[in-house]
Structure 1
Amino acid sequence: MNARPTPAPQYPAWPQFDDGERDGLLRALEQDGWWRMGGKEVDTFEQEFADYHGAPHALAVTNGTHALELALEVLGVGPDTEVLVPAFTFISSSQAVQRLGGTAIPVDVDPYTYCIDASAAAELITTRTRAIMPVHMAGHMSDMDGLAKIANDAGVAIIQDAAHAHGATWQGKRVGELGSIAAFSFQNGKLMTAGEGGAVTFPDSESYEQAFLRHSCGRPRTDRRYLHQTSGSNFRMNEFTAAVLRAQLARLDGQIDTREERWRLLGGLLGEIPGVVAQSRDERCERNPHYMAMIRVPGITEEQRNELVDALIERGVPAFAAFRAIYRVDGFWEKGAPAETVEEIAARCPVTEELYRDCVWLHHRTLLGTEQQMHDTAAIVAEVLGAR
């Protein structure tokens, strides 16, 4: 007789909210202005977010993709420049470069952390390279020591794609203390959210002031005569979004503590399942907020991985297929692609070739569940794989 299948865990809902968000929305509603130039919520959120991440400055923007575009523009990315980006990431990392007229150069990733491989990046730097973009995959910080040395030796900038890494630390340093610009996302699934939104942190006043101008159509704060000093666009965050994000930031630390504790349990349980490999951790990444719980099943095909994801969803586990290799989607080739073929890039990105086919990730709300739910999650993964 077959054992009864493990029931679907009732994970916490996402997004989470309480009276903090309600009070913030009313506070924004009842103030004199609803946009950043007339209200107080965006200014206050920027200061709180900068302080939390150890950055001298933060600028709130419309979304995470715009955060990347704005940061890259400040760094001088445009035609005839290249930016090294992980081959395994969400497509915004490369498209932000390409929309500015730059060329995105895919770089293979580490087989254990899934972050950009520093040694592979070093081999791809040219005289046109303007920046290296590490993506802190699933909240695990990239090898910032190795990348900093490479960038310093080559005279190029680093821009951190920290869309997954709110609250992460590397060797005792927060994202904003690492001396480089960082871009964050507040999209609906992110670790703190207002549905959409983004932020950029800056290590110096000069880059912050330039970004401020460009995110507000090139117009200074006090301008009354439409004296636009630079080109730019309207990437301004509104007051209601900022009010919600202030409440989200206030509970982030406690949620990270819970996810760190639960991943130690769930990651260990998943690693005991035959054929399953959980994302590893570089101990220099001292605090990982765990935007995703990532696992691989090496040897399965992309079709089998997709069937696995569907089966997990049917069993009540919020599972997703991992990102496709950026060079294996049509949008990557529309403009700003390197002068290589898909297969040429694939040949130098063997880890990415495996990851995009055999990797699965679970939404971070699973890691806000109970210890029993971690056992149930692992049991369901084992049962689904055993039934293949």
Structure 2
Amino acid sequence: MNARPAPEFPSWPQYDDSERTSLIRALEQGQWWRMGGSEVDSFESEFADFHGAPHALAVTNGTHALELALQCLGVGPGTEVIVPAFTFISSSQAAQRLGAVAVPVDVDLDTYNIDVAAAAAAVTPRTKVIMPVHMAGLIADMDAFDKLSADTGVALLQDAAHAHGARWQGKRVGELGTVASFSFQNGKLMTAGEGGALLFPDEETYEAAFLRHSCGRPRTDRRYLHQTAGTNMRLNEFSASVLRTQLSRLDAQIALRDQRWTLLSRLLGEIDGVVPQGGDPRADRNSHYMAMFRIPGISEEGRNALVDTLVDAGLPAFAAFRAIYRTDAFWETAAPDTTVEKLAESCPHTEAISTDCIWLHHRVLLASEEALHSTAEIIAAAVGAR
């Protein structure tokens, strides 16, 4: 099908002797949990500094990070959280597990980020948090969301699971004045297999989160005087040691991905019937967690078959997220008082993107320019054959 041989892409996760050294360092300190060791503390300091935040808290995974942040922002039964309808389902499930209603709203057809006007229209007296998700590393319109938050008094929680190292008008995620949540799951831009983190703009919320992530127990407690309800979301020392090394590579990897996306998006845009994810010049650094593109007019079945064709040709290709309201999981608990059909009607862009969008793993953007030309040729041939 393709004129060139199958392209070669770097493996993921990437690691070398630096991770081995870090793991041995964590092993030989003799304390393997965060309350006795130093790796988690050091990682939190380094991660906060990298993102320009006063405080960071490492936790077990990105979903727990969202859940913990929402709890600290007052989310619970009787409240609502506005989320994009096009996102990974953890964005909504984190709210629903706290008993809050997740309210899906539509996204922008070009950037795939949550639509500000749609979010504003969904605010009610019960709305506690609005959750912009920085899709594929492209930061959402934080200027508009800051204004919406100020006008309504509703807090913002950045779901930055895709946006390690991203910037908005020169500001890093931790400099945007809200709590932000990250994931270190195996496919993420930096990883320890699992893990997550939160950035905090103030000490009060950070301290509240620390208590809740450690079973409500203060750091120095020796008498089991648990001060608040919580659970165990503590990250272990081995994972933190790996993440410290992963963080040291992140800046250079983002620079390369950004450069490669400039080429790949141009090549994709030259293919008849293919529309790459758009951008926003105010998002002046995109971490490019996914290389995303649409095939407008294709059916979901046709898109899925096209993904299979691309995988068979050697590309790490995936179907885009399903609209969260089109999953059984969304309706299991704390669902809004509406129907799939009504939500679909209010989210036409989500319906389109969920049907016709494909994404490539970010390791594609760490490959050579020749590999990207081959990638585009494979996609062009597959789309043309369809």
Which bin holds the TM-score, normalised by the shorter protein? over 0.9
- The equivalent residue for 2:196 is 198
Q: Does 1:183 align with 2:175?
A: no
Distance 1:4 1:56, change over 3 A: closer
- The equivalent residue for 1:387 is 385
Query: 1:80-159 maps to which residues of 2 (within 5 A)?
Result: 80-159=78-157
Shift of 1:4: 6.0
Gaps of 5+ in 2: none
Among 162, 165, 168, the alignment partner of 1:167 is 165
- The equivalent residue for 2:296 is 298
Query: 1:158-307 maps to which residues of 2 (within 5 A)?
Result: 158-307=156-305
Alpha-carbon distance in structure 2 between the residues aligned to 1:151 and 1:232: 27
Alpha-carbon distance in structure 2 between the residues aligned to 1:385 and 1:280: 20
Shift of 1:60: 0.2
Among 360, 366, 378, the alignment partner of 1:362 is 360
Q: 1:168·1:288 contact (CA, 8 Å) conserved in 2? A: yes
Q: Which amino acid aligns with 1:129?
A: T
TM-score by length of 1: 0.99
Q: Which amino acid aligns with 2:118?
A: A
Q: 2:2·2:377 contact (CA, 8 Å) conserved in 1? A: no
**Which deviations, in whole Å up to 9, do the C-alpha atoms of 1:240-293 show, x marking residues without a partner?**
000000000000000000000000000000000000000000000000010000
Q: 2:290·2:360 contact (CA, 8 Å) conserved in 1? A: yes
Alpha-carbon distance in structure 2 between the residues aligned to 1:231 and 1:246: 30
Distance 1:365 1:288, change over 3 A: same
Give secondary structure in 2 for the equivalent of 1:285: coil
TM-score by length of 2: 0.99
Alpha-carbon distance in structure 2 between the residues aligned to 1:4 and 1:384: 8
Give secondary structure in 2 for the equivalent of 1:55: coil
Alpha-carbon distance in structure 2 between the residues aligned to 1:194 and 1:48: 16
- The equivalent residue for 1:352 is 350
Query: 1:324-363 maps to which residues of 2 (within 5 A)?
Result: 324-363=322-361
Q: Which amino acid aligns with 1:110?
A: D
Shift of 1:32: 2.5
- Number of positions where the alignment pairs a residue of Structure 1 with one of Structure 2: 386
- The equivalent residue for 2:46 is 48
Q: 2:57·2:198 contact (CA, 8 Å) conserved in 1? A: yes
Alpha-carbon distance in structure 2 between the residues aligned to 1:184 and 1:267: 26
Q: 2:294·2:357 contact (CA, 8 Å) conserved in 1? A: yes
Alpha-carbon distance in structure 2 between the residues aligned to 1:68 and 1:336: 16
Q: Does 1:310 align with 2:308?
A: yes
Give secondary structure in 2 for the equivalent of 1:17: coil
Q: Percent sequence identity over matched residues?
A: 69
Q: 1:321·1:361 contact (CA, 8 Å) conserved in 2? A: yes
**Which 10-residue stretch deviates more, 208-217 or 6-15?**
6-15
Q: 2:106·2:349 contact (CA, 8 Å) conserved in 1? A: yes
Q: 2:323·2:350 contact (CA, 8 Å) conserved in 1? A: yes
Query: 1:18-57 maps to which residues of 2 (within 5 A)?
Result: 18-57=16-55
Q: Which amino acid aligns with 1:385?
A: V
Give secondary structure in 1 for the equivalent of 2:181: strand
- The equivalent residue for 2:12 is 14
Shift of 1:386: 1.4
Q: 1:7·1:315 contact (CA, 8 Å) conserved in 2? A: no
Shift of 1:5: 3.3
Give secondary structure in 1 for the equivalent of 2:268: helix
Alpha-carbon distance in structure 1 between the residues aligned to 2:2 and 2:97: 52
Give secondary structure in 1 for the equivalent of 2:96: helix
- Which 4+ residue blocks in structure 1 deviate beyond 2 angstroms? 3-6
